[in-house]
Amino acid sequence: MPAQPALQRRIAHLDMDAFFASVELLRYPQLRGLPMVIGGGRRREDEMFARLRAAYPGRDWGPETLDRIPTDFFPRLKDYVGRGVATTATYAARQFGVGSAMGLMKAARLCPDAILLPVDFDEVRRLSRLFKNTIREIAPVLEDRGVDEVYIDFTEVPGGQREGGRVLARLIQKSIFQATGLTCSIGVAPNKLIAKMASEFNKPNGISIVLPEDLQTLIWPLPCRKINGIGPKADARLAGHGIRTIGELAARERSWLVAHFGRSYGAWLHEAAWGRDDRPVETESEPVSMSRETTFERDLHAVRDRAELGAIFTRLCEQVSADLRRKGYAGRTIGIKITYDNFEKVTRDITIGEATDHADVIRRHAGQCLRRVDLSRRLRLLGVRVGKLVKPGTESDDGRRYSAAASAPPRTARDRSPDDHTDLLFPELG
């Protein structure tokens, strides 16, 4: 058999431009170009229609006339009250310094007149499926990285090597636009690490090609923070050593990085700075855990707000249970998460013998976990999590067969915290 010439690995990272906001622009094209922030509470179309009918009597306002609603009828950031954060900001809003993950109250100070719309989850999911399926028809090796991001392996796709991947990237951009009306940015590089950075080079609606020989000119000048896996903490520590750019990171000895950042992370930092990454594009993955959590409108106290907290707790357990059943999983580890009013976080969990997807079993064990934390302080957030997931009725890793209907575990006398108020919160546990 004649030896095939070795193909150069070409990996693409694609992300949709301001995805959640762009989805809204499909519905309300008249908002294009205006500063807009997505996040916060629920949709208030009915209120908008009522005000429109009052302002323009005789005209028929409804779902068919969304694109004719005057822009000054849309809700503004300055009118928002609550604890939400921005999911996405349009490029016009980013000019004012508004960014995703920013608290809406802070965003309102920066850009009070920005239009504020909540996320349309159904439409986001529909368009997410649509753009990913569009890509799969062209390049089937695709890794899902959330609603608006994917990695694609171009290596063996016909045309995937032409112009370093630019030709295929253009085809994908064009196909996605035809199918959805949405734009995206694509970076193509020798691996996922570099591709991820490259997709940011040319936003929105851009394509960037990085070849192995471009490492020093295109990657090394960038701040360390641009590496996917270097977050705010690691970045601050690196800065403390005078390391600000990827090039400066690459200049450090591997042994020095290992000595200061640990064997695993230090070695990884070194590889990343030299642009080395051989992770494959993973087309399948199994979930590890499922959880639901909620931040309260105001901080709650286990005793004084016992009824409200108890109802929220039950609802979270029911939601996790419903999520598990809908997706066909059950889990053996049940846990809770609490954020106190000062943002301190604690978690507790318990592993039981048999996997469950029952809301009442989850609630019973999560309730036991709650007894092990300090409930004398005000709470900002409560979460319920189920981990060690298995598909009921299928063989799990250790060969045991799990059933969805779990039995109650032995009740152990765990270390009760001195300020245990769960008897008030959950009298049935007494």
Partner DNA sequence: TCTGGGGTCCTAGGACCC
- Residues identified as active-site: 149
Kindly tell me which of 9 and 192 has the beta carbon lying closer to DNA.
Answer: 192
- Nearer Cβ to DNA, position 65 or 283? 283
Among positions 157, 381, 390, 406, the unique one binding DNA when judged by CB under 7 A: 381
Q: What does residue 148 show for φ and ψ, rounded to 5 degrees?
A: -120, 15
One-letter amino acid at 115 equals: I
Choosing from 216, 347, 376, 407, the residue that interacts with DNA (CB under 7 A) is 347
The owner of tokens 């978690």 is 347
The residue from 323, 325, 358, 396 that contacts DNA (CB under 7 A) is 323
**Between residues 102 and 211, which has the closer beta carbon with respect to DNA?**
102
By CB under 7 A, residue 106 contacts DNA:
yes
Taking CB under 7 A as the binding criterion, the range among 62-70, 147-155, 163-171, 175-183 that sits at the site for DNA is 147-155
Q: How far is the CB of 177 from DNA (least distance, A)?
A: 20
Per the CB < 8 A criterion, the answer to whether 372 and 417 are in contact is yes
For residues 331 and 390, what is the distance between their CA atoms, to the nearest angstrom?
A: 6
Judged by CB under 7 A, does residue 84 bind DNA? yes
CB atoms within 10 A of CB 365: 25
| In the complex, minimum distance from the CB of residue 212 to DNA, in angstroms, rounded to a whole number | 22
* Six token digits for residue 322: 């419903």
Q: Pick between residue 63 and residue 232 the one whose CB is nearest to DNA.
A: 232
d(CA 180, CA 376): 51
Instruction: Please state, in angstroms and rounded to a whole number, the distance separating the CA atoms of residues 38 and 204.
Output: 18
230 binds DNA (CB under 7 A): yes
Is 337:383 a contact under the CB 8 Å cutoff?
yes
CA distance linking residue 108 with residue 290, whole number of Å: 33
Binding status of residue 227 toward DNA by CB under 7 A = yes
- 149 lies in the site for DNA, by CB under 7 A: yes
Is 10 one of the binding residues for DNA (CB under 7 A)? Answer: no
Q: Which is nearer to DNA, 147 or 302 (CB)?
A: 147
Q: Which of 164, 190, 335, 392 binds DNA (CB under 7 A)?
A: 335
Q: CA-CA distance, 238 to 229, in Å (whole number)?
A: 13
- Amino acid found at 292: R
DSSP for 42-106 reads ---HHHHHHHHHHHSTTS--SGGGGGGS-GGGS-BGGG--SS-BEEEE-HHHHTTT--TT-BHHH
Q: Does 311 bind DNA (CB under 7 A)?
A: no
Return the residue of 63, 122, 284, 343 that touches DNA, per CB under 7 A.
Answer: 343
Q: Is the distance from CB of 356 to CB of 330 less than 8 angstroms?
A: yes
Interaction with DNA in 288-307: which residues (CB under 7 A)?
288-295
How many helices and strands (H and E) does the chain possess?
14, 12
Q: Is 87 in the site for DNA (CB under 7 A)?
A: yes
Residue 340: DSSP 8-state? E
Task: Provide the mask over 23-62, with x wherever binding to DNA is found by CB under 7 A and - wherever it is not.
Answer: ----------------------------------------
Amino acid identity at 112: P
DSSP per position, 167-180: HHHHHHHHHHHHHH
Considering the rule CB under 7 A, would residue 350 count as an interface residue with DNA? yes
Closest CB 101 distance from DNA, rounded Å: 4
Q: How many residues bind DNA (CB under 7 A)?
A: 62
Q: Which part of the chain contacts DNA (CB under 7 A), choosing from 152-160, 177-185, 230-238, 300-308?
A: 230-238
User: Residue 229 Cβ, how far from DNA at the closest point, in Å?
Assistant: 5
Task: Specify the 3-state DSSP secondary structure of 290.
Answer: strand
Residues whose CB is less than 8 angstroms from the CB of residue 345 and which lie 6 or more positions away in sequence, other chains included: 337, 338, 339
| C-alpha to C-alpha distance for 59 and 218, rounded to whole angstroms | 56
Alpha helices in 182-298 (DSSP H): 192-198, 232-240, 246-250, 254-261, 263-273
196 is a contact residue toward DNA (CB under 7 A): yes
398 binds DNA (CB under 7 A): yes
Binding site for DNA (CB under 7 A): 81, 83-85, 87, 100-101, 103-106, 109, 145-149, 196, 227-235, 262-265, 287-295, 323, 332-333, 335, 342-343, 345-351, 369, 372, 380-381, 383, 385, 387-388, 398
